[in-house]
Chains A and B, each alone.
Chain A
Amino acid sequence: MVELDAHPQDWARYTPGQRLFRFLVFLASVAAVVWAVMSIDVIWPWVLDAPEQMGDLFGRMVPPDFSNLSDILWVLLETVNIATIATAVAVFAALPVAYIAAQNTTPNIATLWLGRFILVSSRSVNTIIWALLFVAIFGPGIIAGIVAIMFRSIGFIGKLLGEAIEEIDRRPVEALEATGASRLKVILYAIVPQVMPTFWAVSILRWDINLRESTVLGLVGAGGIGIVLQSAIDTFNWPEAATVLLAILALVILGEIVSATLRKRII
């Protein structure tokens, strides 16, 4: 046995140098926040005024005006269709991108970078920005909305699917290569079955996200319920704006329920 006295009684997680460094990092973070707050131009009377304005707006919105409900519901359906079509197309377009963006399946280094470039450029641009761009190209309307959502979705689905491909079990792939199967058949039998659960989960999740994104597309003229909301606000028709907001809320909750149910079924 070793003497108990030989064991030190003091223990510190960090050395003094490390503690100083951590303190400096903390100071820098505080300074960054303080500087950010000071640099923005806040009109304080408007901020302090907010509760009153909120009450005023609420008073004008209640009771909501349901007289245009059937029109609103039709546009809402259109919104759902934008999300669904865009998700369906994006899912297929994302497959080859995921394949070349995954390190273990991409044919060569050039295709790997091409795949990554497509993913990054798709993901770094927000749907609304894509929509602005496509409204300029296709003119205002549904097509611009569908293409915008599609472009953003390719990056999302492609990235997650590519990661799923990178995480597959290599051993069945080796076994099927040993049978003399061609590359395409190895993909079909050893890779596809392994990424199938991720494929469905990601597709459903993206449909759910697209449903919410397609409700704001109308604000930039790219179709969907947003157009109705925008015109109601522009004409100070607050009771109708309230109805539209309620309709969007109902849609999002419904979408959440549908995707949760599907997920449970598939996985």
Chain B
Amino acid sequence: MLKISNLVKRYGHGEPVLKGLDLEVPGNSVVAIIGASGAGKSTLLRCINRLVEPTSGTIALNDIVLSDLKGRELRAARRRIGMIFQSFNLVDRLTVMENVQSGRLGYLPFWRAASRRYPKRDIRRAYELMERVGIAHYANKRADELSGGERQRVGVVRALMQEPEILLADEPTASLDPKTSEQIMELLRSLSAEFALPVLINIHNVAEARLYTDRIVGMRYGKIMFDAEPSRLDKAAMDEIYAGLPAEERGEEETPAPSLQVSAA
């Protein structure tokens, strides 16, 4: 269970990006975090595994307080937190297998990592997981030879190789086409059930959030404005999360709005 209390994050001396946030994610639920750009979704996610240093407040995962760990202890805690990124963040020039195994780096001795002599157990697990998401036949291909959807699957397997206790996904479908992005959301949902894994997904696409998650958290100006199951996200709640934003930025569109409008003079 993830427990965040009174989390504040401020960059420099500006207005805080997160203003005293409280959030609990129990058990194996899939939670979507929605909100306009700049609402603080990405910062929230990165505070959890401390890629971004929180200004104040506490974050605890299964009773371990993450927010004041240092050095070796912080790395040990990060091993238990899987993360998936919008731009996949793979190492392009390494093979799919090497990318997948890099999820185990925290557990491996240096010489094994350097010489690519991965433990048999890890290799078996990698093939199982790659088989599960449908990329096992790419094991020896370079990561940059794969398509977007396939690359995100590599990212998912890399995170699962960590044997995580929670999965953080930062806009995992934002660089994918609609069909592939649905497949990835479906995959995340079923993996959450299979591995009894809580999944926290930052997502722009509200339609996908409604379809594939158990709970929606709406953020605005660094605060949580909405927190309930998808069916309760009605027009009033949407207006509160996205007040003042034009419809095409609310992530509800089925087809993207034309970016350039030519008006007849």
Cβ–Cβ contact B93 & A179, under 8 A: no
Asked if B1 lies at the interface with its beta carbon under 8 angstroms from chain A, I say: no
B residues in contact with A176, CB < 8 Å: 91, 102, 105
Asked if A171 lies at the interface with its beta carbon under 8 angstroms from chain B, I say: yes
Asked if A177 lies at the interface with its beta carbon under 8 angstroms from chain B, I say: yes
How many angstroms from the CA of A181 to the CA of B75 in the assembled complex? 7
Cβ–Cβ contact A180 & B106, under 8 A: yes
How many angstroms from the CA of A116 to the CA of B110 in the assembled complex? 29
How many angstroms from the CA of A228 to the CA of B110 in the assembled complex? 50
How many angstroms from the CA of A194 to the CA of B92 in the assembled complex? 8
Q: How many residues of B contact A (CB 8 A)?
A: 33
Asked if A196 lies at the interface with its beta carbon under 8 angstroms from chain B, I say: yes
Cβ–Cβ contact B93 & A189, under 8 A: no
How many angstroms from the CA of A175 to the CA of B74 in the assembled complex? 15
How many angstroms from the CA of A83 to the CA of B92 in the assembled complex? 34
How many angstroms from the CA of A174 to the CA of B168 in the assembled complex? 14
Interface residues of B in 24-67 (CB under 8 A from A): 49, 51
Task: Contacts A174-B51, A185-B105 given; indicate if A179 touches B89 (C-beta within 8 A).
Answer: no
B residues in contact with A197, CB < 8 Å: 93
Asked if B174 lies at the interface with its beta carbon under 8 angstroms from chain A, I say: no
Chain A, interface size category, equals 20 to 34
Asked if B171 lies at the interface with its beta carbon under 8 angstroms from chain A, I say: no
Task: Contacts A185-B110, A188-B114 given; indicate if A178 touches B83 (C-beta within 8 A).
Answer: yes
B residues in contact with A172, CB < 8 Å: 89-92
Cβ–Cβ contact B77 & A180, under 8 A: yes
Cβ–Cβ contact B77 & A190, under 8 A: no
Instruction: Write the nearest CB–CB distance from A169 to chain B, whole angstroms.
Output: 8
Asked if B76 lies at the interface with its beta carbon under 8 angstroms from chain A, I say: yes
Q: Is the interface of B mostly helix, strand, loop or mixed?
A: mixed
How many angstroms from the CA of A120 to the CA of B155 in the assembled complex? 41
Cβ–Cβ contact A184 & B110, under 8 A: yes
Cβ–Cβ contact B94 & A175, under 8 A: no
A residues in contact with B105, CB < 8 Å: 176, 179-182, 185-186, 189
Provide the B105-142 mask, 1 if CB < 8 A to any CB of A, else 0.
11010100110000000000000000000000000000
Asked if B250 lies at the interface with its beta carbon under 8 angstroms from chain A, I say: no
How many angstroms from the CA of A169 to the CA of B158 in the assembled complex? 18
A residues in contact with B91, CB < 8 Å: 172, 176, 189-190, 193-194
B residues in contact with A188, CB < 8 Å: 110, 113-114
Instruction: Write the nearest CB–CB distance from B44 to chain A, whole angstroms.
Output: 15
A residues in contact with B104, CB < 8 Å: 179
Residue of chain B at shortest CB distance from A185: B105
Instruction: Write the nearest CB–CB distance from B171 to chain A, whole angstroms.
Output: 13
Provide the B155-180 mask, 1 if CB < 8 A to any CB of A, else 0.
10010001000000000000000000
How many angstroms from the CA of A181 to the CA of B103 in the assembled complex? 8
Task: Contacts A172-B90, A174-B89 given; indicate if A179 touches B110 (C-beta within 8 A).
Answer: no
Residue of chain B at shortest CB distance from A175: B89
Among the listed A169, A178, A193, which residue makes an inter-chain contact with B49, where contact means beta carbons less than 8 Å apart?
A: A178
Cβ–Cβ contact B90 & A179, under 8 A: no
How many angstroms from the CA of A46 to the CA of B71 in the assembled complex? 73
A residues in contact with B108, CB < 8 Å: 185
B residues in contact with A177, CB < 8 Å: 51, 78
Residue of chain B at shortest CB distance from A194: B93
Cβ–Cβ contact A180 & B78, under 8 A: yes
Instruction: Write the nearest CB–CB distance from A171 to chain B, whole angstroms.
Output: 4
Cβ–Cβ contact A180 & B51, under 8 A: no
Instruction: Write the nearest CB–CB distance from B146 to chain A, whole angstroms.
Output: 15
How many angstroms from the CA of A193 to the CA of B77 in the assembled complex? 26
Residue of chain A at shortest CB distance from B103: A179
Interface residues of A in 71-110 (CB under 8 A from B): none
Cβ–Cβ contact A189 & B79, under 8 A: no
Known: A175-B158, A179-B104, A185-B110. 14 other contacts (CB 8 A): A172-B89, A172-B90, A174-B85, A176-B102, A176-B105, A178-B83, A180-B74, A180-B76, A182-B110, A184-B110, A185-B105, A188-B113, A193-B92, A196-B93
27 contacting pairs across A/B (C-beta < 8 A): A169-B92, A171-B85, A172-B89, A172-B92, A174-B85, A174-B89, A176-B91, A178-B49, A178-B51, A178-B78, A178-B81, A178-B83, A179-B102, A179-B104, A179-B105, A180-B76, A180-B78, A180-B79, A181-B75, A182-B105, A185-B105, A188-B113, A189-B113, A190-B102, A193-B92, A193-B94, A194-B93
Pick the 8 closest A-B CB pairs, nearest first.
A180-B106, A180-B78, A181-B105, A175-B89, A180-B79, A171-B89, A180-B75, A193-B93
Query: Which of A's residues lie within 8 Å of B, judged by CB?
Result: 169, 171-172, 174-182, 184-186, 188-190, 193-194, 196-197
